Chains A and B, each alone.
Chain A
């Protein structure tokens, strides 16, 4: 897609140069340190961390803490979740539904199946409802036209039906097996 030409702001701004969208939001903000289960440290602005309901309540319970340990979260999905939340903060400051939709769509499109699947428990644990919705929809879209075998493999599920049981279920909704993508 043409993401490099028409949306440079979305990709470059997020990563390094901490974005200071020129006007009203340009106040110096407090940083919060998050520590992943594999001991990586993430410094994020307070406003971003407060998007994580879990982190927010952690701070409300123990305000003096300087580092929040996230024992259930590894570095890679955490960094992706932070990237998402940074953008959402901008949309909160300057609401633009069309841009937000576009960003959310691009965010999931460029992720691998594994990235999506890894982020879902993280978004759930950190209680980031918007992201969880976006991820669930993205996974739903990816499996929609797939075969039963593909979906088992996608979620790491073993078939525990007998051949007869499975055949009976397939007969019951034979039309639902038509027009399915090749694996």
Chain B
């Protein structure tokens, strides 16, 4: 019956730019399914413009940890909790949520399989995709590590900045590294701090307290330092 109605509609197609507006109001799960509708729908849905617009219209999400499970809940004004977005990847035996940005979450998990070493994981719960990052240089030897996750609108890229002190004492230099999602690899800037901080003496005494203290203000990552 309903199908008949739908076929009757066939004569009057909706032009594509209006279809875009409809799909911007459609939830992610449906949109991923509708990539199959046709080639033109698939290209429309995977356009960076469309993804950004859809994100801009998205409802805020609350991330909750109930170790060892991370679950994602919609804000209370929408209907109920969505428990279906629990982590569906190879679960590390312990992990922390490091940061999140635009619905993408950075996790740090410890795997027995990798000699108990840490792996960084980017997780997009809305599309249920995960990406294991390659290990950065001097991953194991360092004591202090600061990690974050940000979006760079200039290069349309997600980046994981990491600040490490290459040793135990205040004399050891800080190294700034960042992972670029577009390139899939880490870059590094040894002089970053000496070039960008005015008070170099203050730098010596900086103590990076913990890694999950990122705050995003107007799209810029801020960290809290103790000195």
Contact = CB atoms under 8 A, between A and B. Distances in A.
A144 B12 CA distance: 20
A106 interface: no
Interface stretch (A6-14, A15-23, A54-62, A112-120): A112-120
Contacts of B14: 117, 120-121, 155
B198 interface: no
| A124, A150, A156 interface centre (most CB from chain B within 10 Å) | A156
A38 B223 CA distance: 65
Contacts, number: 102
B3 A150 contact: yes
Contacts of B59: none
A37 to B, nearest CB: 13
A153 B6 contact: yes
Given A113-B6, A121-B18, A154-B9, A145 B30 contact: yes
Interface string A120-152: 110010000000100011011001111110111
Given A114-B8, A157-B37, A173 B32 contact: yes
Interface of B is mostly: helix
Contacts of A156: 9-13
Nearest to A157: B38
A164 interface: no
B62 to A, nearest CB: 21
Contacts of A117: 9, 12, 14
Nearest to B30: A144
Interface stretch (B20-28, B67-75, B168-176): B20-28
B38 A152 contact: yes
A144 B39 contact: no
Contacts of B25: 136-137, 140
Interface of B: 2-3, 5-15, 18-19, 21-27, 29-30, 32-39, 41-42, 127-128
Interface of A: 112-114, 117-118, 120-121, 124, 132, 136-137, 139-140, 143-148, 150-161, 166, 169-170, 173, 175-177, 180, 183
